[in-house]
Amino acid sequence: MSTPGKLTIPGGTYDVLRQKRTTIANRKLEIKSNALPVWIDVTTAFPLPGITGLDTTVVYEFWSNVAKEAIAIVSVAGVQSMWLRSYIQSG
């Protein structure tokens, strides 16, 4: 989904398209031993909150016709939209 608008960053104000990308990952813990030649999912037996389970990441990319790549990228995680990282193109 792309949404048009304006973005103000230290280099100026730009007409942009904001692209939102959502990634949902299901992390599992698997083990393998010499006794069994297959991987065994032990996520339910040994739950590790914050490491295993569903993880949602949302990335917002801001595209402008003045650059060949996104001029700003913001990544947030979880339902509370906790900030992970951001990137602003300089110059």
pLDDT tens-digit series, residues 41-59: 988 888 888 778 888 889 9
Q: Which residues have C-beta within 8 Å of that of residue 43, sequence separation ≥ 6?
A: 28, 29, 30, 52, 53
Report the mean per-residue pLDDT for the chain. 85
Is this prediction's pTM over 0.85? no
Cα separation, 43 vs 29, whole angstroms:
5
Tokens, residue 3? 């949404």
Q: Which residues have C-beta within 8 Å of that of residue 12, sequence separation ≥ 6?
A: none
Q: Are 81 and 89 in contact (CB under 8 A)?
A: no
pLDDT above 70: residue 91: no
Which pLDDT value is given to residue 46? 82
pLDDT above 80: residue 35: yes
